[in-house]
Amino acid sequence: MGPLSKTIVVVGGNGFLGSAICRRAEAHGNFQVISISSSGKPYTTPKGHSPAWVNKVEWHKASAFDPPSYATLLNKKHAVIHTLGVLLEGGYKDAVKEGSLTKIAGAFSRGWGLGDQGNPLKKRAGPGEYEIMNRDSAIKVLDTYLEAEPPSDSDSASRAFIYISAEDIFRPFVPKRYIDTKREAEHGIATLCNNNETANIRDVSIRPGLMYHPHIRPFTTPLATLVDFSSKIHHSPPFNLPLPLPADILRSLGTRSEPGRPQSTGATDSPDVSPLQVPSSSFPSLANLLETPPIHVDHVADAIIRAIEDPTVKGPVGVEKMRELIGWSRRVDNVREAQTLQD
């Protein structure tokens, strides 16, 4: 193996997606990988094992809200990938790690307002977990990266700040504040990068849909299988019948519920990042869920690596663009995704 040509920092490198990024970057053979997290602990599998690749990653304890704890680690780095975030408030991640469907259901019920933590009528004293984790932590890390010393090599112009956002597919199962704070973060990140041209940092917002892994998170596979089937039906209607598909009906209902508001035609890579453009109605989000194929967490990681390497990648990157980055056509894609779901 030749000399490592790029050094990256993964914020939250011991998490579900963060660990996949670390692992795939190490397998790529062209990256030196540094992880920072609140615990600083190396990644372990759900059964507590430490894979061999873990020894090749530098693991550091740091808080995204305490720049002095990691500022020096960002000097001369080619990319910073921010993976922190919460889908639901109220500590649902512990339930996910345990694989407890009962506890996961409890977390969703709190998100729907069926408990004090999720009660939308209970006045919030300040920013909640969504605002703090999904938006503010990313802005704080980017602010620190903007002040960091750039790499001294010729690739310094291709520095990237990669933010893990999301497609709008989870409403009404999760509160609207989830996607609002994701879009607010995208907007803030793009503004900061555009207003600091001398820093030469391009913003990339990765928008995965449903991420799954058959072994690390086995409970995601049945849902991914259903979503994959729905996506294929919507992209290749059976018998080419001229009938409206479920997603079309849902978007029509969304238009009726919010007359005068432009409706999205699907989950896309559009640079429309303003939170004001997220419809209040959940119908468009449900339509996106039916149309957007699930994506294996390793494939998201591979797309991120390609985005780091390709200086033309900028702004929102949806699932279709991710598949394009890793070299998948839709026809080949369908075969590969089916094989991945079964593995």
Range 86-125 burial, b when 16+ CB lie within 10 A, else e:
bbbbbebeebbeeeeeebbebbbebbbeeeebbeeeeeee
| Cβ partners under 8 Å of residue 241, min gap 6 | none
pLDDT of 117: 47
Task: Answer for the pair 328, 209: CB distance below 8 angstroms, yes or no.
Answer: no
pLDDT at res. 263: 52
Which positions ≥6 away from 57 have C-beta within 8 Å?
Answer: 13, 22, 26, 33, 34, 35, 42, 43
Which pairing describes strands 211-212 and 201-206: parallel, antiparallel, or unpaired? Answer: unpaired
Length of the chain: 343
pTM, whole model, 2 decimals?
0.86
Residue 115 phi, psi dihedral angles, 5° rounding: -160, 170
pLDDT, one tens digit for every residue, the chain (343 residues): 445 689 999 999 999 999 999 999 999 999 999 999 999 999 999 889 999 999 999 999 999 999 999 999 999 999 999 999 999 987 666 655 555 556 556 655 555 555 544 454 455 556 899 999 999 999 999 999 999 999 987 555 679 999 999 999 999 999 999 999 999 999 999 999 999 988 999 999 999 999 999 999 998 999 999 999 999 999 888 777 778 899 999 999 887 766 655 555 555 565 544 544 688 899 999 999 999 999 999 999 999 999 999 999 999 999 999 999 999 865 555 555 556 665 6
Dump strand ranges (E) for 18-119: 31-37, 58-61, 79-82
For position 27, what pLDDT does the model report? Answer: 95
DSSP string, 283-338: HHHHHHHHHSPPEEHHHHHHHHHHHHH-TT--EEE-HHHHHHHTT--HHHHHHHHH
Return the amino acid letter for 287: A
Quick check: 79 and 160 in contact, CB under 8 A?
A: yes
The amino acid present at 303, given as its one-letter code, is: A
CA distance 153 to 78: 10
- What confidence score (pLDDT) does residue 1 get? 41
Query: What is the widest separation between alpha-carbon atoms in the chain?
Result: 60
Round to whole Å and give the CA distance between 270 and 67.
32
Q: How far is CA 61 from CA 38, 39, 132, 292, in A?
A: 6, 5, 19, 36
Distance of CA 268 to the CA centre of its chain: 14
pLDDT at 279: 84
Strands 6-11 and 79-82: parallel
Instruction: Write the DSSP assignment of 106-164 as a string of letters.
Output: HHHHHHTTSSGGG-TTSPPSS--HIIIIIIIHHHHHHHHHHTSPPPSSGGGGGEEEEEE
